[in-house]
Amino acid sequence: MQKGQHNIMARRLTETELVLASHNKGKLVEIAALVEPLGYKVISAGDLGLPEPEETGSTYRENAELKAKAAALASGKPALSDDSGLSVSALGGAPGIYSARWAGPDKDFDAAMRRVADALLMTGQYDRDAKFICALSLCWPDGHIETFEGQVSGTICWPARGDRGFGYDPIFIPTGHDITFGEMDPDAKHAMSHRADAFRQLLAACLS
């Protein structure tokens, strides 16, 4: 189906409570900001004491679906999950689905951003094109899943700039702008992000 097209086959969400199947605080804040204004009450998987499933998928979609499914089955409520990452063209799409893992167990994103910059230097290419990609999955307790994929294009800059946002935001300049997501007003980022793109599709297809 083309992006932006209304998916009349998708199941619509009639429940008003949603579990957010993420343990990443940055993502929780951004997803809650998208769904709460629509009247949904959100509970985080962490607050319900649900374990974080291992991300064994080989795509954003597979990982988003396994996280949403685990939370929906364990909680008995519809669950929304996001799997996302930074894909750098000259690095063959890395860090990609391993974006969180590049930061290591201490979640050291200064080190992860430096690793991206060093890897880009090593390529000897001038290509700085990158994308943030997001798969958003909504799973019902009966196992039915709807998944939507969004992205935002941009370029990698170095050194990192700005202390807003999270993860790789300080090295990502979205196309058409001259500041990084780390320097940008959060509302401006939320309006153009990969998560917002996926969310617009979810909204059109499943939410009222």
Which residues are catalytically annotated?
83
Instruction: Identify whether the C-beta of residue 6 lies closer than 8 Å to the C-beta of residue 206.
Output: no
* Residue where the block lists tokens 């996280």: 67
The helix or strand, by DSSP H or E, that contains position 19, with its residue range, turns out to be strand 17-20
Shortest distance, position 168 Cβ to ligand IMP, whole Å: 4
What is the CB neighbour count within 10 angstroms for residue 79?
A: 29
Residue from 13, 61, 85, 130 that binds ligand IMP (CB under 6 A)?
Answer: 85
Shortest Cβ 169–ligand IMP spacing (Å): 4
With contacts defined by CB under 6 A, name the span among 77-85, 121-129, 137-145, 197-205 that binds ligand IMP: 77-85
Task: By CB under 6 A, tell whether 100 contacts ligand IMP.
Answer: yes
| 166 counts as binding ligand IMP under rule CB under 6 A | yes
Q: Rounded to the nearest whole angstrom, what is the least distance from the CB of residue 107 to ligand IMP in the complex? A: 8
Of the candidates 152, 149, 165, the residue with the CA atom closest to the CA atom of residue 194: 152
Taking the least distance from each CB to ligand IMP, the nearer of 11 and 161 is 161
CB of 14: closest distance to ligand IMP in angstroms?
27
Q: How many helices (H) and strands (E) does the chain have?
A: 5, 6
Under the criterion CB under 6 A, does residue 137 sit at the interface with ligand IMP? no
Q: Identify which range of 34-42, 139-147, 160-168, 197-205 contacts ligand IMP by CB under 6 A.
A: 160-168
Stretches 36-44, 68-76, 83-91, 120-128: which one binds ligand IMP (CB under 6 A)?
Answer: 83-91
Q: What is the dihedral of CA 120, 22, 202, 69, to 10 degrees?
A: 110
Distance separating the N- and C-terminal Cα atoms of the chain: 20
**Looking at residue 156, what DSSP letter applies?**
E
CA atoms within 13 A on the CB side of 115: 17
Give yes or no for a cis peptide into 105 (omega within 30° of 0): no
Minimum CB–partner distance for residue 105 and ligand IMP (Å)? 13
Give the separation between CA 61 and CA 149, rounded to whole angstroms: 8
- Point out the residue whose Cβ comes nearest to ligand IMP: 167
Contacting positions for ligand IMP (CB under 6 A): 24, 55, 83-86, 99-100, 132, 165-169, 181, 193
